[in-house]
Structure 1
Amino acid sequence: MNQPTVPVDRVASPRRIAALALPALVVLAAEPLYVLVDTAVVGHLGRVPLAAVAVGGTVMTLTAWVGTVVAYGTTGRAARRYGAGDRAAAVAEGVQSSWLAFGLGMLVVVGMQVGGPALTGALAGGGEVGTAAGEWLRIAAFGAPGLLLAAAGNGWLRGVQDTRRPLLFVVGPNLLSAVLCPVLVYPVGMGLNGSAVANVIAQTLSGVLFVAALVSERVSLRPHPRIIGQQLVLSRDLLIRGLAFQASFLSATAVAARFGAAAVGAHQIAIQLWFFAALVLDALAIAAQALVGAALGAGDAAAARALAQRIGRFGAVCGVAFAVLAAAGTGVVPTWFSSDTSVHEQALVAWPWFVAMLPLAGVVFALDGVLIGAGDIRYLRNLTVAGALGGFLPAIWLSHAFGLGLGGIWAGLLLFTVIRLIGLLLRLGGGAWAVTGAVRTERHAGSAA
């Protein structure tokens, strides 16, 4: 990367980066932790309700994924406006993304009322599970507008570097729901549907709190189709990028399953630990989005480049820390998830690749956040698709064709990570990503391919 022309300490101190990253981590972790509570509560109702919430919850997870896309797209745009000294315009980005989020949420509500039971029936193969999941999903879908409004709210508040309110607006409703869920399921007697109602209450309350924060800013709440259209373009590119990830990981699971139950069980353990590491490292990426977007909005490309270097180093340190922990847990951590010795043996095949990848992944996730904050989404999209089609997917299916087992699959994931790392370093070293101004334009951005 280019050397910064300003002192790094004037850009963002480690304390400032941590002040943005740590609250973001708590917000990111709140929903998965609540899902664990919800699963534990429903699990005591029996196998059918537990299977039903697993099927219905998978569909709602896709809605949460769309929310993440909305949040990431909003953070960079709001941060640029904020860095340019125009807080009102930064908040206005939040207004427009909230309209987009609400519209998408209402589409989910209508779609799940019409097609939810058929979708869960297809996923569950019909029967009691499909019926119960369809009923659960129809209720839970009413929380989608609130869920997506909260995502948009997280986006603009991160953009103006307000970390306190998102923490309160997400954690508070989730704690309330964690209390309500067992009450509605058992003493009130709503059973499985009580879980869905608790979800809806939490998500709606969270969305209302974020909307109230918008109203308190005293900006115009009118929708502007042109700005919403620009946000949709960002969301489209992030969705395509996400689909490349989804296709790759689904293919990896499908191939692992062809190597037997022990192999797919071990793969599940390793991949869930990988997702957990990604969750923690994404908190650093969120800090990067806010800080880099603000620096570029203020017209300070040198500060943005200095931030990229500092955040990349922090990502490497975090990745190494994860790798040390994972290496120390070799042969031990898999026993926490399964008592089957054949699963443990298969996990040991994937483990060296998992450990080796973590330091690289720490840098990749951090630098992803830099480019998202810079609004260089098209390049990220193209890089991810190229890495998936040119590295991960061929390696996965060659592993199947030549019987390479989990080692081949995880070697493919390492190759995917290396391709992305090289592409990110080349992009950041070239400097074309650092387009200054309150709004990113591609006129001086260079090739996005």
Structure 2
Amino acid sequence: MAHMSDALAREPRPARRHDREILALAVPAFGALVAEPLFLMADTAIVGHLGTDRLAGLAIAGPLLTTAVGVCVFLAYATTAAVARRVGAGDLSAAIRQGMDGIWLALLLGTVIALAVLPGAPALVDAFGASADAAPHAVTYLRISALGVPAMLAVLAATGVLRGLQNTHTPLYVAVAGFAANAALNLVFVYGAGWDIAGSAWGTVVAQNGMAAAYLVVVVRGARRHGASLRPDAAGIRACARAGVPLLVRTLALRAVMLIATAVAARLGDRQVAAHQIVLSLWNLLAFALDAIAIAGQSIIGRYLGAGDTDGARAACRRMVRWGIGTGVLLGILVVASRPLFTPLFTADPDVRRTLLPALLVAALSQPVAGVVFVLDGVLMGAGDGPYLAWAMLVVLAVFAPVALLVPRLGGGLTALWWAMALMMAVRMVTLWLRIRSGRWLVTGAVRA
């Protein structure tokens, strides 16, 4: 009995330690994640006052730009896991060297994307059906913004470096400063200098390059402090690229799920797709809170496995799952309780509101499942288990696509589509949980073999 009492007295201490670690990493990460989409929101608010044709141009160019950058988010994920492992192994010099390889890869990819977008901007804009009035503004914004893509990708990779080093405060400070600079420069260039929509694009480019410079200063200082080389290493860059390919596949499959859902909603009618856009926007907002815990998971799990501590990794995983479930329950309750307040902000159409409500309730009910999914996704990313994540997401896509495409044929409405989304999340949870239960992700060492 005495031994049991001692065990119970000791048990909360590791739990509290994990809680402190999760909060210390997740809260700043959440702030940085929320600051990122504010860039485009600031551009939208400022450009919106220039006229409908300019705003329409931004509405086409903006998603093209964010998609090009979004599919490269593996630069942050893969770098976080690789750097955290080296940190856990106690080799900070190698950790920073690993991070520099990720940054060099980001600069190379960003340059390739920019060189492709500059001449291809008119064709890309035409492919999205831009009107004759909006097309020139979309092309202008897209071409200028392309010059900032290398910096945007460098920011992703450098963010991964700092997360791997267990530092999420610096990305928060840089993101907030970048947003403030972007808003100020947009106002100066658009209205002060009279550069029209081009001023908005230039403001974003300058702000993104400033953020990249700030990150590089921090990383370079760390490299000099620990004697890490800053020169590009071909073998290291290739290794980063190989580690990123599975995560790229995972991201593309996930984006395919979202595109299919929107396409199905569009086939259901204008009222249905309008309500779907509102639910999807809210879903993406809630994802920031859950993704913050996933980012903490990437950093913590990578560090434990790098140190060879599988028991610590398992314990941290269990604790983060509880955090994911609790956060999901809280978010679901918040959505249901606050729906009378935020629904009027999105639409005054009573038909859209009636269509929206049941789909919104389904999204709210699925938040605890989403919490588990985000956490386990982050845990496996931190473990460097990218190939499994890629295959698992392809399985999810294979299950979701036929179910979603049957919704219009079977006469289901938006609520049925969101039940299909809930099914998608449930399948993701099962595939991730099976991997966690297997223990095959618990590969220790400074480098995952």
For normalisation by structure 2, the TM-score amounts to: 0.94
1:193 equivalent in alignment to 2:198:
yes
Structure 2: distance between partners of 1:167 and 1:29 = 9
1:427 paired residue number: 435
Return the match for 2:109 from 95, 104, 112: 104
Q: What's the offset of the Cα at 1:330?
A: 4.1
Q: Does the CA contact (< 8 Å) of 1:266 and 1:346 recur in 2? A: yes
Return the match for 2:409 from 401, 404, 417: 401
What amino acid is the match of 2:349?
A: D
Q: Does the CA contact (< 8 Å) of 1:67 and 1:152 recur in 2? A: no
1:139 equivalent in alignment to 2:144:
yes
Structure 2 residue matching 1:362: 3-state secondary structure? helix
Once the two structures are superposed, the pairs formed by residues 268-347 of structure 1 within 5 Å of their partners are 268-347=277-356
Once the two structures are superposed, the pairs formed by residues 183-222 of structure 1 within 5 Å of their partners are 183-217=188-222, 218=224, 219-222=228-231
Return the match for 1:252 from 258, 261, 265: 261
Structure 1: distance between partners of 2:320 and 2:356 = 32
Q: What's the offset of the Cα at 1:332?
A: 4.7
Once the two structures are superposed, the pairs formed by residues 125-164 of structure 1 within 5 Å of their partners are 125-164=130-169
Once the two structures are superposed, the pairs formed by residues 28-39 of structure 1 within 5 Å of their partners are 28-39=33-44
- For the structure 1 residues 350 and 369, does the alpha-carbon distance in structure 2 shift closer, same or farther, using more than 3 Å as the test? same
Instruction: Please tell me the root mean square deviation across aligned C-alpha atoms, in Å.
Output: 1.5
Q: What's the offset of the Cα at 1:173?
A: 2.2
1:436 equivalent in alignment to 2:444:
yes
Structure 2 residue matching 1:124: 3-state secondary structure? coil
| Percent identity of equivalent pairs | 40
Q: For residues 354-412 of structure 1, give each alpha carbon's deviation from its aligned partner in whole angstroms, at most 9, with x where no partner exists.
A: 1110111011101110000001111111111101112x212111111111111221111
Q: Does the CA contact (< 8 Å) of 2:302 and 2:383 recur in 1? A: yes
What are the ranges of 5 or more consecutive residues in structure 2 without an aligned counterpart? 1-9
Structure 2 residue matching 1:127: 3-state secondary structure? coil
Structure 1: distance between partners of 2:13 and 2:234 = 40
Q: Does the CA contact (< 8 Å) of 1:8 and 1:303 recur in 2? A: no
Q: What's the offset of the Cα at 1:181?
A: 0.7
Structure 2: distance between partners of 1:26 and 1:269 = 22
Q: Does the CA contact (< 8 Å) of 1:117 and 1:135 recur in 2? A: no
Q: For residues 48-90 of structure 1, give each alpha carbon's deviation from its aligned partner in whole angstroms, at most 9, with x where no partner exists.
A: 1101111111111023313422001100000000000001111
Structure 2: distance between partners of 1:56 and 1:24 = 27
Q: What's the offset of the Cα at 1:121?
A: 2.5
Structure 2: distance between partners of 1:187 and 1:67 = 34
Structure 2: distance between partners of 1:74 and 1:35 = 25
Q: For residues 209-263 of structure 1, give each alpha carbon's deviation from its aligned partner in whole angstroms, at most 9, with x where no partner exists.
A: 1122222121201222222222212221111111111111111111111111110
Structure 2: distance between partners of 1:74 and 1:402 = 44
2:178 paired residue number: 173
Q: Does the CA contact (< 8 Å) of 2:79 and 2:240 recur in 1? A: yes
Q: Does the CA contact (< 8 Å) of 1:393 and 1:412 recur in 2? A: no
- For the structure 1 residues 66 and 254, does the alpha-carbon distance in structure 2 shift closer, same or farther, using more than 3 Å as the test? closer
Q: Does the CA contact (< 8 Å) of 1:123 and 1:130 recur in 2? A: no
2:94 paired residue number: 89
1:261 equivalent in alignment to 2:266:
no
- For the structure 1 residues 427 and 203, does the alpha-carbon distance in structure 2 shift closer, same or farther, using more than 3 Å as the test? same
Structure 2: distance between partners of 1:357 and 1:291 = 26
Structure 2 residue matching 1:128: 3-state secondary structure? coil
Structure 1: distance between partners of 2:49 and 2:289 = 30
Alignment length, in residue pairs? 435
What amino acid is the match of 2:114?
A: V
Q: Does the CA contact (< 8 Å) of 1:143 and 1:204 recur in 2? A: yes
Q: Does the CA contact (< 8 Å) of 1:39 and 1:50 recur in 2? A: yes
Structure 2: distance between partners of 1:66 and 1:249 = 13
What amino acid is the match of 1:229?
A: R
What amino acid is the match of 1:284?
A: I
- For the structure 1 residues 7 and 228, does the alpha-carbon distance in structure 2 shift closer, same or farther, using more than 3 Å as the test? farther
Please say which of residues 11-20 and 371-380 is displaced more in the overlay.
11-20
Structure 1: distance between partners of 2:14 and 2:328 = 25
Structure 2: distance between partners of 1:9 and 1:82 = 23
Q: Does the CA contact (< 8 Å) of 1:80 and 1:437 recur in 2? A: yes
2:4 paired residue number: none
What amino acid is the match of 1:353?
A: V
- For the structure 1 residues 421 and 90, does the alpha-carbon distance in structure 2 shift closer, same or farther, using more than 3 Å as the test? same
- For the structure 1 residues 332 and 30, does the alpha-carbon distance in structure 2 shift closer, same or farther, using more than 3 Å as the test? closer
Please say which of residues 270-279 and 227-236 is displaced more in the overlay.
227-236
Please say which of residues 13-22 and 91-100 is displaced more in the overlay.
13-22
Q: What's the offset of the Cα at 1:271?
A: 0.8
Q: Does the CA contact (< 8 Å) of 1:331 and 1:348 recur in 2? A: no
Structure 2 residue matching 1:302: 3-state secondary structure? helix
1:231 equivalent in alignment to 2:236:
no
